[in-house]
Structure 1
């Protein structure tokens, strides 16, 4: 189902992407509004600059360890679709279907949410204030969908350009905070939580916030059939992407700590804006808002490129022909249209928050499934070619599994009713999907 550049047969994915794309789609799909907001939560939990920076580094290290499972599976199986393909190969059709539905549908809520946040920032700049937020969000998703419809090469290049612009803007902000003369202190309230000593619960809350900002590190693994030499490129792109993201996150926090104390950061809902206001004065709000808009656009662009691959992979495995159509330029067009319609539609009608609440615990459990899949597949298919084999096996997989399982338990305990509803909904959708695909022989 894949051709090299130049083959371009109708109905086939094209192997035209490189390591630079893999790094770009990780940076584009990971760095966003979270790093501008989460430092306040982390500062309240970490208390001191040393602990705060250590926690951000720990977040990157955990993502790196977690990535070892994904990279081993992706470099071994080498099929487009991400966790769905890993689960399908390891746990069978029913397990794969459940993971695929959870991954695609849960992230449709993510597309809707991020696009609505983009619309809110557009209004904040005084642009198109007469248009409802849902309409602006839908237009963004549609525009990005049009860009992705132009082909894999153009879609990949848009990731590279967008991520490069975003990285430069963040580095300029970092340099500005570190080098510019400080202005007058901003009236930032000090969080009452800073009066308490460092606690385990505070560290856990901080780490949860950090983990959220690293989501997206696995984006390159969704393109195994479209990346040149996936046996090596997925590993290079994934680990390089995580390193770039971690570096930017640490530098941002060092710059924030240069301008504000941990107590001041903990009292801020948007630390980057308050720090920028202290340095740049009245110009701070449009600066931070502009950076936020670029970050949000690149996230939407990454998501609208990634998640049609999940739908396409499921349709191909279960022989749902209408959703397997691919254009001559490599775009899984039917899956892309479905993704734009559902993601944009959720943004328009405003029910994405329910879907996001449903997806939190489910997506955490997906991480557990991927970590376990490495161990299961090593036993199930010991002779499978594994160009990348995680070091110190199975320790990294077990460590990541325990962390993801702890997150899953925390999410369930925080909102058991919504979690129960989420798993009930997933069970129903999986059974319905299984019934609709009955008689279909999954592709080998």
Structure 2
């Protein structure tokens, strides 16, 4: 059964489609996203999302799996190098395919022409995992972490002592409030979201600078006993090194977030590559310097055992102003979740615009041009996860699955070099960069399965298999959802949103 898509006035638009399918992108009443993100805001979006709570709370996982101080620092540098290699390849993809949605847009544009069925399938499966599980889970976990660093100091300062159940309930309620606040800010204004993001990015960089300053002071007074252990005890196990990589890469997660908002970047052909080349090396230097600073105060074992490394270092060195560190952790986490939600909404929007999610998720507000339905949809899933917390334990295993799609995106870059050799490429990455990234990424995917197989990897395959079962009828055969017509019209009337134009190909 067919249903007409409706414009913001409630009338049938020119782009009729099956319910749940994307309307004609060339419809005369289509809307476009506004370009609000400049170079500074682009750098802040990258840095703000990459630097969350992890580097402040417990970076000991990389050290534990590496086995030595020296190898741990090498792993942090190697993870940064991998993020830089990947982002340089994404800079070419982002300027060649200037669409929001990151990997999804590159997979759909690069692989769809190759085969009508198998071509779009990887893009759909990426969106299936990311939009419905991974990114909302990250959103939920980030808000829970931010809530913890808000609730604990307040309870301590007021002298309250709650039992575990009441404390857990209070943290959940606070996390729900954070989800609502972040979603409301993202839906209200891109300008205000960017301003808040910039402020929180500056705040977390100040905290980083304070910690690095503490490390420099300790080094100047001879605090090198733990760093002097060097590579003593380094692991040489193939699989353990891969899991150490995962620990570091989790802290670097977000290196590709600017590619999710390409359609909102001012002069993306210039600002996208520049922001990437500034932001990710900056984060890499910060991570290395902060880890050195930690090891001037804490022993390797103390670093591994600590759940709040930065707080311990602050208490040891900052005295009466040590309260600044937990405040910085809360601000850093909030800023990271804010930028993550900003990017996730654009991924959901881009997916729906291609017909891989229900049609209404591709609509934007008629005045602000913000993808409000996609942002609210992501928040609803995050709220469910905060209430249940049953899926959060699987996030590491699904992170491994995402690296499959990162590798595929690099392969798409090589394919486009062959299929579109004369296409406009404002930025062109050296060929060895995507090839090296493919090799390293493939190792990260295969090594943990070979050396330490776990049933959780079957869960990943199960979710991908369910995605294929959904893809066949609803995407490939374009089966309609008859009940979506009235829902779409109701959402349009409530949120004042309308269908969008797909950006023109160069």
Same fold (TM over 0.5): yes
* Alignment partner of 1:288 is 2:316: no
C-alpha distance in 1 between matches for 2:173 and 2:318: 33
Question: Which residue of structure 2 aligns with residue 4 of structure 1?
Answer: none
Per the TM alignment, residue 70 of structure 1 is displaced from its structure 2 partner at its CA by 1.3
Question: Which residue of structure 1 aligns with residue 121 of structure 2?
Answer: 94
Q: TM-score, normalised by structure 1?
A: 0.86
Question: Which residue of structure 2 aligns with residue 379 of structure 1?
Answer: 418
Any conservation in 2 of the 1:84–1:314 contact (CA below 8 Å)?
Answer: yes
Question: Which residue of structure 1 aligns with residue 443 of structure 2?
Answer: 406
Aligned CA distance change for structure 1 residues 194 and 297 (closer, same or farther; 3 Å): same
Moved more, 269-278 or 151-160: 269-278
1:236-385 equivalences in 2 (<5 Å): 236-262=274-300, 264-280=302-318, 284=322, 286-318=323-355, 320-327=358-365, 328-354=367-393, 356-357=395-396, 359-385=398-424
Aligned CA distance change for structure 1 residues 69 and 119 (closer, same or farther; 3 Å): same
C-alpha distance in 2 between matches for 1:109 and 1:48: 32
Question: 3-state SS of the aligned residue for 1:361?
Answer: helix
Deviations 1:241-294 (A, max 9, x none): 10111121122123223323445434544432333333235864x443222211
Question: Which residue of structure 2 aligns with residue 157 of structure 1?
Answer: 195
Aligned CA distance change for structure 1 residues 204 and 94 (closer, same or farther; 3 Å): closer
Any conservation in 1 of the 2:37–2:264 contact (CA below 8 Å)?
Answer: yes
C-alpha distance in 2 between matches for 1:217 and 1:436: 32
Any conservation in 2 of the 1:104–1:307 contact (CA below 8 Å)?
Answer: yes
C-alpha distance in 2 between matches for 1:13 and 1:280: 46
Per the TM alignment, residue 360 of structure 1 is displaced from its structure 2 partner at its CA by 2.3
Deviations 1:42-86 (A, max 9, x none): 344556655444332222212111212211111100011111001
Any conservation in 1 of the 2:139–2:382 contact (CA below 8 Å)?
Answer: yes
Aligned CA distance change for structure 1 residues 269 and 138 (closer, same or farther; 3 Å): closer
Deviations 1:339-360 (A, max 9, x none): 1111122112222315525522
Any conservation in 2 of the 1:134–1:350 contact (CA below 8 Å)?
Answer: no
Any conservation in 1 of the 2:58–2:304 contact (CA below 8 Å)?
Answer: no
Per the TM alignment, residue 322 of structure 1 is displaced from its structure 2 partner at its CA by 1.4
Aligned CA distance change for structure 1 residues 346 and 48 (closer, same or farther; 3 Å): closer
Question: Which residue of structure 2 aligns with residue 200 of structure 1?
Answer: 236
Q: State the structure with more CA Rg.
A: 2
Question: 3-state SS of the aligned residue for 2:34?
Answer: strand
Question: Which residue of structure 2 aligns with residue 6 of structure 1?
Answer: none
Structure 1: tracts of 5 or more residues without a match: 1-8
* Alignment partner of 1:64 is 2:64: no
C-alpha distance in 1 between matches for 2:362 and 2:405: 24
Equivalenced residues, count: 426
Report the RMSD for the aligned CA atoms in angstroms: 3.1
Per the TM alignment, residue 95 of structure 1 is displaced from its structure 2 partner at its CA by 2.3
1:29-48 equivalences in 2 (<5 Å): 29-44=49-64
Q: TM-score, normalised by structure 2?
A: 0.76
Aligned CA distance change for structure 1 residues 149 and 195 (closer, same or farther; 3 Å): closer
Question: Which residue of structure 2 aligns with residue 5 of structure 1?
Answer: none
1:107 to 128, 135, 150: 135
Per the TM alignment, residue 120 of structure 1 is displaced from its structure 2 partner at its CA by 2.2
Aligned CA distance change for structure 1 residues 86 and 140 (closer, same or farther; 3 Å): same
Per the TM alignment, residue 122 of structure 1 is displaced from its structure 2 partner at its CA by 2.4
C-alpha distance in 2 between matches for 1:204 and 1:324: 37
Any conservation in 1 of the 2:71–2:234 contact (CA below 8 Å)?
Answer: no
Question: 3-state SS of the aligned residue for 1:125?
Answer: helix
Question: Which residue of structure 2 aligns with residue 19 of structure 1?
Answer: 39
Structure 2: tracts of 5 or more residues without a match: 1-28, 113-119, 481-500
Per the TM alignment, residue 15 of structure 1 is displaced from its structure 2 partner at its CA by 1.2
Deviations 1:207-234 (A, max 9, x none): 3322221111111111111101111211
C-alpha distance in 2 between matches for 1:196 and 1:176: 25
Per the TM alignment, residue 412 of structure 1 is displaced from its structure 2 partner at its CA by 3.3
Moved more, 243-252 or 121-130: 121-130
Question: Which residue of structure 1 aligns with residue 3 of structure 2?
Answer: none
Per the TM alignment, residue 431 of structure 1 is displaced from its structure 2 partner at its CA by 3.0
Question: Which residue of structure 1 aligns with residue 427 of structure 2?
Answer: 388
Deviations 1:272-322 (A, max 9, x none): 2333333235864x4432222111101110111001111111111118431
1:126-165 equivalences in 2 (<5 Å): 126-127=154-155, 131-165=169-203
